[in-house]
Amino acid sequence: MIPVLGLTGQKIAVLGLGRSGLATARALRAGGAEAICWDDNAAARERAEEEGFTCLKLTRQGAFDDIATLIVSPGIPHLYPAPNPVVAAALSAGVPVDNDISLFFRSFATRDWDNFETMPKVVAVTGSNGKSTTSALIHHVLDHSGRRTQLAGNIGRGVLDIDPAEDGDVVVLELSSYQTELARSLTPDIAVFTNLSPDHLDRHGGLGGYFAAKRRLFAEGGPDRAVIGVDEAEGSFLANQLSMGPSDDRVLRISVDQKLSGPGWNVFAKKGFLSEYRKGRQAGSIDLRNIKGLPGAHNHQNACAAYAVCRSLGLAPRVIEQAFHSFGGLPHRSQIIAETGGVTFVNDSKATNVDAAQKALGAFKRIRWICGGLEKEGGLGDLANHAGEVVKAYVIGREAANFAMQLTGVDAEVCSTMDVAVAKAVQDAQDGEVVLLAPAAASFDQYDSFEKRGEDFIQLVQNHTKR
């Protein structure tokens, strides 16, 4: 646990008592503050009370009279589409609103660091797609190389739930836009921007607000080094804003769409080969084509980002390459779950938006595509134009028929449920084909989460392939 520093003796309100909220309350108490907690869910309040925390409804009259700060869990809106009533009450009372990410950055460094030979580092990864895989890959490479490392944030443990730093530690944080948009303190040593595509637009008031939330990690944080994906206009703009000139190697540009040149520090992947160029000369390369845990161009982008971070931390290209080969990938992200009868089954349930699904479709050949779910704002766009390798689509979800109608030019069958879709795809699949779950939609019409959706797919595939 990371005890929260600088709030001793103060009353701090904590809104939301899920994984991060309860960890925040514990860390506040460990640092000498008093946590006043609230969650609309009675079971969550009961868990907190069992640990000795006081739970008080924070919308009652005078609730913020003696509160120094309100700490808000990431899923709770504070501005768009409308502030949560508790947040609105804090704003009205003039009480600062913050989150656990900010508390972490304010509390991670301690006087113990004065005795370390190598200062601990914090790597923070954000972006629309690939941030989980990129974070896990960085963590894996560091662990493989013998560096002590911890993985936290939007993946792994809560940021305040990790262990205090030891000499030479590297903490890798995956940070969502929900986490970066509110944190008052953001001071990573290395910050990563993978890419940007429309997502969570209602929460951020549009694409500009969404990009602004991501950009705060760099503008507010002032990292010593920034790794920026430049395949979208926003990334290219961000890299330009952070750089002092073409040779400024504090900014590492990465790409899977173009060969990057110039006197700066660049990492790109073309046709399955990763290349590192520095000061106009090649400094390293990796053949990514046979690395099973990193299939497709979208994972090659993740590899470029992880490679750039690990090179910034002093690791040799050969060490990074060796670690890449032992990386097994993450559950629900281009996860190969079975290979039988010449058919490969891939679970990419995390492809909850159109851009992620496009990337998954580009990673495989001859695809039996299971898709559909709760359609996100903005519709399916030109998703059908990226379905050239799709032999047939099997559409699930409550509005499967409407979803299927938007897949113009694609042979699509309305299945509605996962069990029907898997059964038909298994029956139809032929040698050399891939049965791919890449929904291009949220899961909440039929499942509690994308994880539950992926687990259902895995179980159904296992039931059919064992017959």
CATH number at residue 85: 3.40.50.720
Percent of the chain with pLDDT over 70: 100
What average pLDDT does the segment 150-155 reach? 93
- The angle that helices 450-465 and 418-428 make with each other, rounded to 10 degrees, is 40
Residue 81, in any domain of the structure: yes
Whether residues 318 and 352 fall in one domain = no
Question: Where a domain ends, among 82, 98, 114?
Answer: 98
Distance separating alpha carbons of residues 454 and 447, to the nearest angstrom: 10
Question: Where a domain ends, among 98, 122, 142?
Answer: 98
Q: Which two tokens stand for residue 186?
A: 């953001």
Residue 426, in any domain of the structure: yes
Distance separating alpha carbons of residues 29 and 37, to the nearest angstrom: 12
Among candidate residues 332, 369, 370, the one with its CA nearest the CA of residue 133: 332
Q: How confident is the model at residue 467 (pLDDT cuts 50, 70, 90)?
A: low
Q: What is the pLDDT of residues 298-351, one digit of tens each?
A: 899 999 999 999 999 999 999 999 999 999 888 898 889 999 999 999 999 999
pLDDT of res. 328 = 85
Residue 377 pLDDT more than 80? Answer: no
Whether residues 94 and 149 fall in one domain = no
> Is 394 in contact with 428 (CB distance < 8 Å)?
no
Non-local CB neighbours of 321 within 8 Å, separated by 6+ positions: 286
* Residue 156 known to bind ligand: no
pTM of the predicted model as reported, rounded to 2 decimal places: 0.86
Q: Return the SS3 of 155.
A: coil
Whether residues 29 and 164 fall in one domain = no
Whether residues 278 and 427 fall in one domain = no
Q: What is the pLDDT of residues 220-246, one digit of tens each?
A: 888 999 999 999 999 999 999 999 999
What average pLDDT does the segment 438-446 reach? 94
Whether residues 235 and 346 fall in one domain = no
pLDDT of res. 198 = 83
What average pLDDT does the segment 384-393 reach? 93
Residue 69 pLDDT more than 90? Answer: yes
Residue 254 pLDDT more than 80? Answer: yes
Distance of CA 28 to the CA centre of its chain: 26
* Residue 129 known to bind ligand: yes
Whether residues 17 and 62 fall in one domain = yes
Residue 60, in any domain of the structure: yes
Domain count of the fold of the chain: 3
Residue 330, in any domain of the structure: no
CA dihedral 270, 271, 275, 280 (to 10 degrees): -50
Rg of the chain (C-alpha set): 23
Whether residues 20 and 56 fall in one domain = yes
Residue 1, in any domain of the structure: no
Q: Provide the domain limits for residue 20.
A: 11-98
Percent of the chain with pLDDT over 90: 88
Residue 364, in any domain of the structure: yes
Residue 4, in any domain of the structure: no
Q: What CATH number is given to the structural domain containing 347?
A: 3.90.190.20
* Residue 73 known to bind ligand: no
Q: Which of 59-68, 132-141, 153-162 has the lowest mean pLDDT?
A: 153-162
* Residue 121 known to bind ligand: no
Whether residues 192 and 268 fall in one domain = yes
Mean predicted lDDT score pLDDT of the chain:
95
Whether residues 52 and 201 fall in one domain = no
Whether residues 128 and 16 fall in one domain = no
Whether residues 257 and 405 fall in one domain = no
* Residue 131 known to bind ligand: yes
Residue 389, in any domain of the structure: yes
Residue 378 pLDDT more than 70? Answer: no
Whether residues 284 and 356 fall in one domain = no
Q: What CATH number is given to the structural domain containing 315?
A: 3.40.1190.10
What average pLDDT does the segment 97-121 reach? 96
> Is 341 in contact with 464 (CB distance < 8 Å)?
no
Instruction: For 161-216, give the DSSP string.
Output: GSPPP-TT-EEEEE--HHHHTT-S----SEEEE------SHHHHTSHHHHHHHHHH
Residue 199 pLDDT more than 90? Answer: no
* Residue 128 known to bind ligand: yes
* Residue 135 known to bind ligand: no
Question: Where a domain ends, among 32, 65, 98?
Answer: 98
